[in-house]
Structure formats: C-alpha cells, structure tokens
Structure 1
C-alpha cells in the first residue's frame, strides 16, 4: 500500500484546527485602544533616561576656544597640541596618530 507523505497527519490536523479556533475566540484589542495606549506611554517617556529616572536638570558645558598652540586634525577632527602634528598639506594639518 502506497503512503502519501505530503498529506497532513490526522493528529496534527486536529491540533491545527483547535489552535485556529482558540485564536478566533481570543478577544483581540481594538486598534484604537492600542494607539491610545501607545500615545499615553510615549507621553510618560518624556524626560526619562534608560534607568527610569526623571531628569529636569540642564547640562551646562563650558566651551573653551582652540588655543594658539593647538590644531584640528583634518582626518580625525580632534583638537591636538602642536607637538602632535605630523604633516600639513593644502592648508590641512594631520596628527601623528593618523599618519602612523
């Protein structure tokens, strides 16, 4: 007797039908309620950091201008001391780390 190996076994077929019925009977949330919940969650996220703490402080950073003995590397864009200058070409200075 030949066996059809592509045919779904009866026990698997019953399980699939039961799981489909279970999914159909589950109360799915309304799309509008999901959007409302997401909007409320986004509103609560303002001012939170990954640890969940609320930050209301402003960060104050003092910017110091580039000194006369410093240069900005044209390759890595970091401000370096003049002793770290490797070469200068076309008006652009390059640091030792980028040339090495």
Structure 2
C-alpha cells in the first residue's frame, strides 16, 4: 500500500514558477465565467424585504429653530421649551438628559 507524505516535494525554482503560472492561469479562466453580465440588470432591480423600492428624490423642508424651542447641548435634539430642565451659562439641557 502506498503512503502519502505531508513533507514538501523538492522542486527546482523553474518547475515551481511554471506550476504557479499554470495555477494562476487556470484560476483566472475559471473565475472569468463566474459573472453573468445578463443578470446584472435583474440584480439591480431586485429589492430585498424592507429595502427601498425605488430611488426617488425626497424634498424635506428644514425649518430654523423656533422661538419656543431650544437645542439640548447633551443630546443635540431640538426640544420645546416645556422640556427645559436646566440652563447653565447659556447651555440648555432637556428633561430626558437630566432625568
């Protein structure tokens, strides 16, 4: 019965370079067939569950801070003045951050 050894086989540098070139050439040819260009448009149109259905332009109107609002310096949320918990040196903190 033949016994295979895990020991490396002694090869000349020329043989090693030739074998590496053959492996690279075979790998490149095999990998070239993996991408099917005909399926690219189909993949771009496919929507995963919970994903956005279409790329739509969204216009959002951003309003400046109103007179009865303040920006909390801890959470950076714009809050109504009724949520003001503390003010120190012009810095305002909301009741959620202070709670």
TM-score relative to the length of structure 1:
0.51
Aligned to 1:57: 56
Q: Paired residue for 2:70?
A: 71
Name the CA distance, whole Å, in 2 between partners of 1:96 and 1:64. Answer: 23
Distance 1:55 1:67 in 2: 34
Report the Cα offset of residue 59 of structure 1.
Answer: 1.2
- 1:25-47 CA distances to partner (integer Å, 9 max, x unpaired)? xxx9922233x349x648843x7
Determine helix, strand or coil for the equivalent of 2:33. Answer: helix
Change (3 A) 1:49 1:95: farther
Unmatched segments (≥5 aa) in structure 2: 1-26
In the alignment, which residue of structure 1 is the partner of 2:31?
Answer: 31
Aligned length: 70
Structure 1 unaligned residues grouped into runs of 5+: 1-27
User: 2: CA distance between counterparts of 1:49 and 1:67?
Assistant: 40
RMSD between superposed Cα atoms in Å: 3.4
Shift of 1:89: 2.3
Summarize the alignment of residues 4-43 of structure 1 with structure 2, pairs less than 5 Å apart.
Answer: 30-34=30-34, 36-37=35-36, 41=40
